A and B are shown apart, each in its own frame.
Chain A
Amino acid sequence: MNAQALFTAYSTIVLREIRRFTRIWPQTLLPPAVTMTLYFIIFGNLIGSRIGEMGGFDYMSFIVPGLIMMAVITSSYANVVSSFFSMKFQRSVEELLVSPVPNWIILAGYVTGGMARGLGIGVIVTLLSLAFTQLKIHSLPMVVVTVFLTSALFAVGGFINALLATKFDDVSIVPTFVLTPLTYLGGVFYSIDLLPDFWQGVSMANPILYMVNGFRFGILGVSDVNPFVSLGMILVFIVVLSFIALKLLARGKGIRH
C-alpha cells in the first residue's frame, strides 16, 4: 500500500471510531460529564470549601486538572478496549485482518480514535469546570503535550487489554482494579506532600501521579514532581506499550487462530 492508501486506511479506522462513540453518546460522552460535575459540586464546592488551600491554591482549582486528567485517562482507555473487544466478539475484526492494513496502522487508528474520545471528554470536562472555577493556564504547550501523550498512552493500554481479553469481564478488570485505584492515589484529590515519607515514596511508583502532576503544572504551575520527568515517563511508557501491542498483533494474539 502506498502512503495515500495507508492514510485512507488510517482515516477510515479513525472516522469509524469517532462515529461509533458519537452515535452512542449517552453511553460514552454523557456519563463522564455527569460524574465530573458531581465531583466539582461535592468535592470542589461542598467539601472543598472546608478544606482550604492545597498546594497554594483553593481546593477546587487544585482538583480540576486532576479530574480533567482522570476523565481523559478513563475515556481513552475505555474507548479502545470496548471498541476493539466488541469487534473481536462480533468477529468484525476479521474485516481488518483480511485487508492489507498493516498492524501499525491498525494500532495508530485505534489509538487516535481513543484519543479523540479522551480529548473530547477533556474539553467537555474543562468547559464544565469553568462553571465552578476560573482556569488560568500556566503553560499551554505543557497542557497540550501532557494531555495528548497521556491520552495516547492509555489508548495503547486499552488496545493491549482488548487483545488479551477473552470475555467481557476481562475488559472491566483493569479499569476497575488497576486504573481507578491508581488514578485516585495519583494525586488527583491531594498533594503527596500530605503523605508520610514512606507513602510519598510508594506514590512515586504510580505512573498516573506523573501525568496528573504534569498536567497540573501546565495549568497551575505547581507539581509534586518535575514536569519534564513526567513527560519523559509518559513517552517511555508509550514506546514500551506500543512495542508490546505490535508484538501481540504480529503474533495474532487473541485475533488469529
Chain B
Amino acid sequence: MTNALEIEGLTKTYGSGFEALKGIDLKVTEGDFFALLGPNGAGKSTTLGIVCSLVTKSAGKVSVFGYDIDTHLSEAKLHLGVVPQEFNFNQFEKVFDIVTIQAGYYGIPLKKAAVSAEKYLKKLGLWDKRNTPARMLSGGMKRRLMIARALVHEPKLLILDEPTAGVDIELRRSMWSFLEEMNRQGTTIILTTHYLEEAEALCRNIAIIDHGRIVRNTSKRELLQQLSLETFLLDTEKPLSKTPELEGFTCRLDDEGVLEVDVHKGQALNDVFAQLEQQGIKVISMRTKANRLEELFIRMVESSAPEGEAITEGRA
C-alpha cells in the first residue's frame, strides 16, 4: 500500500539553536487515521509544519503520496489539506470567500470552487454563515471554517493540528463524526491533539513524540495492550453498603457508592460479573475510570524525559 506520508531522518534546528526535531522517522499508510501525540514543545507542530512547508527542515526527507517535497513540492501540496492550530484566515473576509479563495490557490476555477465550498460549508453547518465576515464567527465555527477550507480541493491527506482545542463537547463529538466519515470515504487523516480521549476514539495508529524524537509508533490496539492494569467503574442496580469480596480482584467503593474494580492484564471481566452475580449484585453499567491512553502517554513521556527533568501536568 502507498504511504500517504513518509518521513526519514527529519531534523530541525531553529535559528536560536533549539533542536526541535532530532531525526524523526514516520510512515502513515494511505487510508489511516493517525495520531501524533506529545507534550507541548515535543515537536508535533514542527513536524507537521515541515510537511505543509510552513517550516523549513534542516535535514531529512519528506514525501506525500510518493512526492518528495524537495523535488515535487507542488504535487505533494496538491494532495495535502491543512487545518492549523491557530486561526490563520483573513478575519475581514466572508466565510464563502475564504473557502473559494483557497480553492483558487489550488487552481480550481471559481464555478467549481463554489460547488465544493457549498458542499463542505453545508456539511460543517456553516452554509447559513457564508456571507458573514470570519471575525463574527464563534470559536467553534472558526475551527469548522478551517476544516472546510482545508477540504475544498479534496485532498487525499488531511492534517489537523489540534482541531478541537477549545471546542465544547457537543461540537467536538460532531467534528469527530465528520472526520470519521471523511476517513471512511478514503481520506487519510493525521491529527495532533491534547485530548487523548480523541486519539483513542478516532485513531488506528499512534506515534508519540517527545523531545524531538519518536518514542513510540504503533497501532492503538497494541499500545493499549501494554496497559497492565485497568480500573473499571461498575454502577449497580441497588446501592452497595459494603465492598463485596471478589476473589483475585482488588475492589473498593468510591464516595458515591460506585464499585471500582482493578483488572490486571490476563484477568477476565467475566469473573467479576460471575462473582457479583453469586452475591446477588446486579451491574447495570460499566466504564473505565481513567483514560487508558492518557495513562500510557504519561508513562511513555516520563520514561523518555532526560534525566533530572520532571514531567509536569502542564506539559501533557
1/0 per position for B181-220, CB-CB distance to A under 8 A? Answer: 0000000000000000000000000000000000000000
Q: Which residue of A lies closest to B51 (CB)?
A: A98
The smallest C-beta distance from B21 to any residue of chain A, in angstroms, reads: 12
Interface size class of B (residues with CB under 8 A): 20 to 34
Is B244 an interface residue, CB under 8 A from the partner? no
Is B9 an interface residue, CB under 8 A from the partner? no
Q: Once the chains bind, are A87 and B14 in contact (CB under 8 Å)? A: no
With most chain B CB atoms within 10 A of its CB, the pick from A12, A13, A23, A102 is A12
Contacts of A116 in B (CB 8 A): none
Q: Once the chains bind, are B107 and A9 in contact (CB under 8 Å)? A: yes
CB contact between B80 and one of A19, A91, A98 (< 8 Å): that residue? A98
Contacts of A19 in B (CB 8 A): 97
Q: Once the chains bind, are B88 and A12 in contact (CB under 8 Å)? A: no
The verdict on A92 contacting B106 (CB below 8 Å), with A12-B101, A256-B53, A256-B55 known, is: no
Is A257 an interface residue, CB under 8 A from the partner? yes
The smallest C-beta distance from B38 to any residue of chain A, in angstroms, reads: 18
With most chain B CB atoms within 10 A of its CB, the pick from A6, A91, A102, A252 is A91
The smallest C-beta distance from A230 to any residue of chain B, in angstroms, reads: 37
Q: Once the chains bind, are A9 and B104 in contact (CB under 8 Å)? A: yes
Q: Once the chains bind, are A256 and B105 in contact (CB under 8 Å)? A: no
Contacts of A98 in B (CB 8 A): 52-54, 77, 80, 82
The smallest C-beta distance from B67 to any residue of chain A, in angstroms, reads: 11
Q: Once the chains bind, are B104 and A100 in contact (CB under 8 Å)? A: no
Is B66 an interface residue, CB under 8 A from the partner? no
Inter-chain residue pair count (beta carbon < 8 A)? 84
Contacts of A91 in B (CB 8 A): 84, 86-88
Contacts of A8 in B (CB 8 A): 104, 107-109
Q: Once the chains bind, are A257 and B56 in contact (CB under 8 Å)? A: yes
- Considering the complex, which residues of chain A in the window 230-257 have a beta carbon less than 8 Å from any beta carbon of chain B? 252, 256-257
Is A130 an interface residue, CB under 8 A from the partner? no
Q: Which residue of A lies closest to B74 (CB)?
A: A100
The verdict on A9 contacting B105 (CB below 8 Å), with A94-B54, A100-B78, A102-B74 known, is: yes
Please report the C-alpha to C-alpha distance between residue A209 and residue B78 in the assembled complex, in whole angstroms: 46
Contacts of B78 in A (CB 8 A): 1, 100
The smallest C-beta distance from A8 to any residue of chain B, in angstroms, reads: 5
Please report the C-alpha to C-alpha distance between residue A98 and residue B161 in the assembled complex, in whole angstroms: 14
Q: Once the chains bind, are B73 and A100 in contact (CB under 8 Å)? A: yes
CB contact between B107 and one of A5, A95, A256 (< 8 Å): that residue? A5
Contacts of A12 in B (CB 8 A): 101, 104-105
- B residues contacting A by CB (< 8 A) are 14, 49, 52-56, 73-75, 77-78, 80, 82, 84, 86-92, 97, 101-102, 104-109, 149
List the 3 closest A-B pairs by CB distance, nearest first.
Answer: A5-B107, A12-B104, A99-B105
7 intermolecular pairs with C-beta atoms under 8 Å apart: A9-B107, A16-B101, A97-B53, A99-B105, A100-B74, A100-B77, A257-B14
